[in-house]
Amino acid sequence: MNKVRIGVIGIGNMGSSHIKSIVSGLVPDMELAAAADRSPARREWAAGFVPKGVPLFNDGKELIQSGLVDAVLIAVPHYQHPPLAIEAFKAGLHVMCEKPAGVYTKQVREMNAAAEKSGLVFGMMFNQRTNAWFRKMHDLVQGGSLGNIKRVSWIITDWYRPQAYYDSGDWRATWDGEGGGVLLNQCPHNLDLLQWICGMPQAVRAFCHNGKWHNIEVEDDVTAYLEYPGGATGTFITSTADAPGTNRFEVTLEMGKLICENTSELTLHRLAVNEREFCKTAKGGFDRPEVTVEKIETDKSNEQHNGVLKAFAGRILRGSPLVAEGSEGINGLILSNAMHLSSWQDRTVALPLDEDLFLEELNKRRALTKKKNSSGAVFETAGSY
């Protein structure tokens, strides 16, 4: 195999972007071999863009069974990620899945089990892991040179979306169509980075405000409190209604504080001695440890989606590392599921999550989903992706 023959399932915002990159040669080890979407309009767009002879299927399962591809890239509404991935593994195909891994962890565990049983390559589209500043944060925090984590704080409110965004698709911002709001749509990247850099908490208390700023039924404003093993605590605040928004990620450790601002600048406030040691040995009641401020240099590489696809092709062709293993997609989803369940039941949720209880509560909300357009008229979902 000289190139990976990829089939893109879902020609929406992200699927069409991936198709453009692959067709334009931005992923050299990959060629577009097929695409699928249930929407005639999206297939019509693709017909005018993809190379002549690339077949367009009405359904993802048809593409999977076509025998024309080595791997699939799944970019459809969230509930359909695990079923299509499982179908692809059964057909002997490698899988790259767009975020999130799914809507509820019980479903994603089935997908992970199918991937492991198949022995095929399974990757998640966590493109923010290619960001040079986040990679550096990961190395510094996980490397141990800065000591243990004491506090984590991420204010990520620059996901601004007007009402028109939510009105652009009947599946958007509904429990039955999307499975959640800002936590499931915009924040899977942030929740993945949070656990990748800082590890998983042991308990979550969250306040999710549904339709606070938009005419939607899911959350558009969230504040969560996290408790970590060893005593560290954290806060995670997000919204799609703040303009201008903020993107500031702080990690306070025993040897200093890392600050990543707007994902483009990383600063380390480095202590001369470990704060825990200083606290116990300082003689003056108002003494403070000496601190120096450093601008952290990185390799400045930030390949984003194309970098993830290059690594995916590299794993298939040469066995090289993925940016994110597909099995890791469940971790950030555990966090969002825990935040939802905490808010729904007005209590702290301990991890591991009660997955059956979460699904029971989610299904209650799915049963009440109302699909409306901007004028308020109820309409049925077309089920397109």
What percent of the chain has a predicted confidence (pLDDT) above 90?
A: 93
| pLDDT for 171 | 87
Average pLDDT, integer, range 150-163: 98
- One domain, residues 50 and 142: no
The reported pLDDT for the residue numbered 15 is 97
Structure-token pair, residue 282: 């300082």
Does pLDDT of 119 surpass 50? yes
Provide the token pair at 368.
């009440």
Is 171 contained in some domain? yes
**Average pLDDT of the chain?**
95
CATH number reported for the structural domain that contains residue 27 in this entry? 3.40.50.720
β-strand partners of 143: none
Structure confidence at residue 170 as a pLDDT band (50, 70, 90): confident
Residue 370 pLDDT? 75
Say yes or no: 134 and 120 in one domain: no
Residue 373 has pLDDT above 60, yes or no: no
* Amino acid (one-letter) located at 106: K
Are 138 and 119 members of one domain?
no
Once rounded to an integer, what is the mean pLDDT over residues 6-24? 97
Residue 189 is part of which domain span? 129-301+332-366
The CATH number assigned to the domain holding 169 equals 3.30.360.10
Q: What pLDDT is attached to residue 371?
A: 58
Q: Where are the alpha helices (DSSP H) in 230-303?
A: 275-281
- Per-residue pLDDT tens digits for 24-38: 999 999 999 999 999
Q: Is residue 271 predicted with pLDDT exceeding 70?
A: yes
Question: Do 16 and 98 fall into the same domain?
Answer: yes
- Vertex 261, ends 241 and 333: CA angle to 5°? 60
Within a domain: residue 385? no
Average pLDDT over residues 333-349: 98
The answer on 121 and 210 residing in a single domain is: no
Domain shared by 146 and 57, yes or no: no
- Reply yes or no on whether the pLDDT at 381 is more than 70: no
Over the range 268-283, which residues count as b (16 or more CB within 10 Å of their CB) and which as e?
bebbeebbeebeeeee
**Claim to verify: residue 255 and residue 297 sit in the same structural domain:** yes
Identify whether 378 is part of a domain: no
The answer to whether residues 278 and 218 belong to one domain is yes
- For β-strands 122-124 and 94-97, DSSP reports them as parallel
Q: What is the mean pLDDT of residues 108-112?
A: 98
Same domain, 104 and 169: no
Q: What is 4-61 written as a DSSP string?
A: EEEEEE--SHHHHHHHHHHHTTSSTTEEEEEEE-S-HHHHHHHHTTSPTT--EESSHH
**Is 381 contained in some domain?**
no
Average pLDDT over residues 226-246: 98
| Verdict on whether the full-model pTM lies above 0.85 | yes
What is the four-CA torsion angle of 314, 190, 203, 77, rounded to 10 degrees? -80
Per-residue confidence (pLDDT) for residue 375, from 0 to 100: 44
The answer to whether position 380 is within a domain reads: no
Quote the pLDDT of residue 240: 98
Number of domains in the chain: 2
Percent above pLDDT 70 for the chain: 96
Half-sphere exposure of 8 (CA within 13 A, CB side): 27
Establish if 18 belongs to a structural domain.
yes
User: For residue 372, is it within any domain?
Assistant: no
Judgement on whether residues 224 and 338 belong to the same structural domain of the protein: yes
d(CA 4, CA 13): 23
Residue 377 lies in a domain: no
- Domain match, 194 and 102 both: no
Mean pLDDT of 43-59: 96
Q: What is the pLDDT of residues 189-232, one digit of tens each?
A: 999 999 999 999 999 999 999 999 999 999 999 999 999 999 99
Q: Flag whether pLDDT at 160 surpasses 50.
A: yes
| Residues 255 and 295 placed together within one structural domain of the fold | yes
Mean pLDDT within 372-381: 39
